[in-house]
Structure 1
């Protein structure tokens, strides 16, 4: 099971420098010769082609989402003890549960994240982005991650969740640790540090839910609290706390990474930044190409419910799958010349970055709105912005959540 068709073991390290710098390139050989292969190091079946990834997402009877939020690196006993000291009780939320419960909950919880509802926030988001740009526009240089992208999606995510403004500041500092907890490869010592932060975020999530129960508002979590009161079996207290905890991570880190990736590549292409400033109608499709070309979510996971055949390979019941979205988005069977960054690509929106099927990301309309507004305001205000020459782009050693730590710019 560990052999490729050529008789050589297929090597794959999702924490290595090759994958971090060029995720699609790291799996080019797999896409060409062994699109589904078993990694003994990870104990996962790695899936690299678009069609196979899409099939695993869509077929919820054959593939379970239950492991989607499990730590990719097993936790050391000390880390588990630290989490237990916080009464950490992870439970199923929309992203890691299966039908029919998933579909029932999604139907009830989705309305606040619908595109028409999210569109009502455009003015507030644009005002927020403008204030941040005002703080550095006259300076002539900025780190787009530290000065803009780290904070704005966090604040927007908390606002959409319904968190009161006065709690935004303390809540946003915890979300980065969840990405490392789920997708990283920390040492046993680092796991304890991360577990402590996750535990603190768990407690704060519970406090925020309790506050929203006492002081009703508008947003995703207040909607869930309303459902909880009407049907406490469908949405219980544990679900509310897990919703608050995981939902804000998804709203924050993935959008931060997606926009940082976008700026890196848009500014690297000669003439593209100027073209977007001259014709903002190009920005929505440019956003889709950025999401395809440099996915902010590189992979996702499923478990085979029964023995299945995927990509011509038999996967046993209970086999764990790593669906490498960042590879599927560069599958030449779907995207001609996939290594070329093209803001005019006609089928860019077919990317897998937001998933497909019943687990398609509910936050996609919000992410698209934020990215569009940020690009509209930056190209309008800073038409001469460029990347600082010679900088190196570095990434956290993380198998899925992917974006440069810094994007240094000047104008």
Structure 2
């Protein structure tokens, strides 16, 4: 158990006792790349997912879980993104493998699939997809919803051919929207000004993350060639900026070397504050990079109070000293309060590769931060195991549920922490 916590600024934030919950553990078909979403209409309902096709359901706020496997005629091949839309419907977005022959069929990665459930994850439809070029490879989707509406945005990377070294093969950022809770989708369009390579590295356009502003403006942020790019549409996705906006340098690029981790990225995320507090309308972009050195990975945040026109200088989210790694960060905004929450791996207490999980949060619009260790046990990663590309966090009505991958020798587990603001 973890003691209650006080916070930054002029507000004291107290938590009930925090404790860790193992959702799924296995040394076979190891789960990773977890995503999670709390139902805003009833925070007892939480749905999560992990690689390749795992879905997890909780009806008691994350204390206990039921595990199942997603199925679709289009195949279910990882990169899950789980999000509630309009307060009740849950969407499970993933990669495709219609032929059941990963990396060995022309159909592999031919679309992004979005499956929907209206009973909190117990049953699912077969899925829908934006119309796109099915001869290309479609990868790394992220999804955004707008509170109280049926609107869903999705952005992802289209590769001419994944992992191709041919100079003529490129990567682009694609976008699509749904006005009916993910039932149908607009035709996918390219929104990135620059094309990247197909090597799934710093010079690949990747990590596209969407958000919806309080006035309905669409935003998408991604990483490419050591910079973070932002595109904006004010007419429901029909017209986007002629020149993508560079909002921050990502020193060293989004592909980061972390000792003990086979591969790691610092891809960005973007959120908008839709709450009624004084920071309503603020946009937040967070990422991690190594601007302070190869042995010092940090989590960063910038914010905009003028609908993305201007952005603050980067503020460091992790509050430790220098020379340690903080990585695989994720961010969410509790739309009932406007409080910003982060989860990330952290090595501040060790001289080796032992790794903890930390929560960070800000109550003052991203000006100051508190950090709190939330994992009960550290772990020592083994670089030969695929550890995934991301973690996730969901916050709603004072309930915060981070989700992450934990490693124990050859065994991986997906875990959450029960974090509730004390009433």
Same fold? TM cut 0.5:
no
Q: Which structure has the higher relative contact order (CA within 8 Å, separation 6+)?
A: 1
TM-score, length-normalised on structure 1? 0.26
Identify the structure with the greater helix proportion: 1
Task: Give the number of the structure whose alpha-carbon radius of gyration is greater.
Answer: 1
TM-score, length-normalised on structure 2? 0.25
Identify the structure with the greater strand proportion: 2
